[in-house]
Amino acid sequence: MTVVPTIGVLALQGDVVDHMRALEAAGARAVPVRRESELDAVEGLVIPGGESTTMSKLLQIFDLFEPVRKRLDAGLPVFGSCAGMIMLADEVLDGRADQRSFGAIPMTVRRNAFGRQVDSFETEIGIDGIEGEPFRAVFIRAPWVERVGAGVQVLARVPAGAADSGAGAGEEQGGRIVAVRAGACLATSFHPEVTPDARVHEYFVGMVRGADAGPVE
C-alpha cells in the first residue's frame, strides 16, 4: 500500500467535492470515479451522500454497478455517507421497489429515518476508534441502522433526544445507530465531509492503508 493512497469518490451524484477535499486533508490523493477504468485505478472508494434511488439508477446507466460490486466483494475499502450508507446495506426499508444496493454490510437501513430536509440537525457524538473531543455530526435527510448482522461493529449512536424529528428517534437503548464498520466497509448516517473536522476521513484513509486492495492490474 502506498504512503499516499489513491481514493476515489463516486462522482455520479451527491456531495463529491467536499469528500475529495476531506480526503486530501486526511492525507490521500482523491480522484473522481465515473468510469470503470477510473474505478480500477483506486485503492479505496467513497460513496457520497445524495439521493440513493437516483444513485442506484445512475450506477446502472453508467455500467458501474457490477464493477463496483465486484471490487467490494474483492475487498476494496469503501466508505459510504448518508445515501452511501444506504447503498452499502443488504436491506433497505422505505426504498423504491427498483432500488438496488451492494449488500456489502449485513445491516438494515431505513431511508430518511430522521425526517425530511427541514428536519436536518447537528449533534455531538462519540465515535469508537476516533480519539479526541466529540465529533460534530450533521444529519441531512439521514437514514439510521435498525439491524446489524454478524461481524458488524457499531461505532456511534445518536443520543436519545438529539433529534426531535423521526418516528421513534432515540427510543432504543443508547440511541439510534449512525455509524458502523464491517471489515473494509465503513458507513455513517451523517455527513462528515461538510465539517472542517477530517477525523472520519483520516480513519478511512487508515483503513485503506492497512488493506490489500490496490489498483486492478
Alpha carbon distance 37, 66 (integer Å): 13
Q: Whose grid coordinates read 461493529?
A: 153
Catalytic residues, which ones?
82, 191, 193
Q: Please name which of 102, 187, 182 lies closest in space to residue 144, comparing C-alpha atoms.
A: 187
Q: Please name which of 108, 153, 109, 162 lies closest in space to residue 135, comparing C-alpha atoms.
A: 162
Q: Please name which of 91, 99, 83 lies closest in space to residue 47, comparing C-alpha atoms.
A: 83
Longest CA pairwise span in the chain (Å): 50
Strand-pair category, 121-125 with 135-139? antiparallel
3-state secondary structure of 101: coil
Alpha carbon distance 145, 204 (integer Å): 20
